[in-house]
Structure 1
Amino acid sequence: MVGAVIVSGGKGSRMGADVPKQYLDLKGVPVLARTLTAFCDMEFIDNIVLVLPVDEWETFKSFPYAFSKDIHIASGGLRRQDSVRSGLKALESLQNSGIAVIHDGARPLVTESIVKEGVELCMKHGASACGMKPKDTIKVRGEDGFSRETLDRDSLFSVQTPQVFELKKILAAHERLDYSGETVTDDTAAYEKYIGRVYLYEGSYENIKITTPEDMAVAEAIISRRKV
């Protein structure tokens, strides 16, 4: 079985809005609703777990949208990795094993082809994550403000979500991480620390994470071009 864990706990402080970014209107539909609808439309997704702070559960339940699949809600934690662990445990109660697709609730423009490729590559390699090569030259900046070195752009990879794993293994990694007390920035870091390597594949420059007002403008332009 293939299940999705949608993590949606950001407060959107960089957005400068009165509501969390996942509830902002994006061409007539809240960001989070677009993300969930995208996964509901994927036939190969068997279960969907949405991780939300408890104080947002009622806000979500008041959404005027009827999703085509059941959305199971799990409690968000203090850190993203705590929220992911909570979502993985909820997914385990639904399907016990299988594949876990972890995705940001604030990435509403993900496509079925990106998710499907991630699942197929996970089955082949054990774990996968999508992303893109950076377009800009990447410099290492010293504490004094001066450039220290230029990194080889061809060897760099800007990781996105979805990130796809065997459910049992990624949950074990997160539980060990919780025991250690360490903090990581994403799920590939947890997996690499305790389990093994992650295969990286090409996502899309359109698979953006909504973080700033500029991101909303870009997302609106992409949606208009897709006509969805």
Structure 2
Amino acid sequence: MTSSQNLTPRPEDGFWAVVPAAGSGKRMGADKPKQYLTLAGIPLIAQTLNNILSWPRLAGIVVAIAADDTEFQKLPQASNPKVHTVAGGKERADSVLAALDYLSGVAAPDTTVLVHDAARPLVKPADIEKLLAAAPTALLAQPASDTIKQATSAEGQARVKHTLPREEIWLAQTPQKAPLELLRKCLRRGMSKSPALITDEASALELAGYQPELVAACRSNFKVTHPADLILAEALLQYQSEQIQSGTET
């Protein structure tokens, strides 16, 4: 399952990206894993990988795919010398750990790692630059713009318990950044002690006492989760393409 190309680390190498892509994406209600649904003519994960491959100072990408995945190697991106694969696991954290274990053999412990969702194809390169310039542990996130209600269940219905202070609420996105060995240790510790609390990489860092920096991201960096998200993502890709062609991209 593991692919190995040009793995000798060099001091001038930049950061690595990790893409967990072993899930099934059940909320899409499709007959195939979400990452292989078509977005603007090519699979969603291919759009995301094309985006990542455009990031400056990228040393490489490790994609964690399902052990029985037969689709990934059909993608043109799979033959890119910067793209490597490992067998992922049942949970997101298992897949990320598999990728980090692989990286630990080819990269220095303090190498910067950005973990990015396969279903976020529209992250802006400018936001990646902001994230790289942030604290050693950091993540892209969206400040809440709506009023946030905490719910409670009453007679089978969701009811408002109280309103949360919106200025304190951020919606976590990806990439999420940390040094390789630090993230690896925190994920392992968190998964052994409180696996239910590990919903992303930042949560593992938080459980270990770290406070990752929140870096505001463009609203286009949403996660394709439901069928309607594919329509929105395709419209945004078309808009971006028109901006590039007209020279008005922001």
| Both proteins in one fold, TM over 0.5 | yes
Q: Distance in 2 between matches of 1:195 and 1:69?
A: 37
Residues 1:77 and 2:89 are matched in the alignment: yes
Alpha-carbon deviations, 1:143-181, whole Å to 9, x = none? 213211011111100010000001111111012123325
Match of 2:219 in 1: 205
Q: Distance in 2 between matches of 1:216 and 1:200?
A: 26
**1:80 CA displacement:** 0.9
Counterpart mapping for 1:23-172 below 5 A: 23-56=36-69, 58-65=70-77, 68-97=80-109, 98-121=111-134, 125-144=135-154, 145-172=158-185
Query: Is the CA contact 2:22–2:90 (under 8 Å) kept in the aligned structure 1?
Result: no
Residue identity opposite 2:217 in structure 1 = G
Q: Distance in 1 between matches of 2:31 and 2:65?
A: 18
**1:66 CA displacement:** 6.6
Match of 1:179 in 2: 192
Unaligned runs of 5+ in 2: 1-13, 243-250
Unaligned runs of 5+ in 1: none
Match of 2:245 in 1: none
TM-score, normalised by the number of residues in structure 1: 0.92
Q: CA RMSD in A?
A: 1.6
TM-score, normalised by the number of residues in structure 2: 0.85
**1:10 CA displacement:** 2.4
Q: 1:7 aligns to what SS in structure 2?
A: strand
Percent identical residues: 30
Q: Distance in 2 between matches of 1:52 and 1:222?
A: 27
In the alignment of these two chains, the number of paired residues is 224
Q: 2:31 aligns to what SS in structure 1?
A: coil
Larger Rg: 2
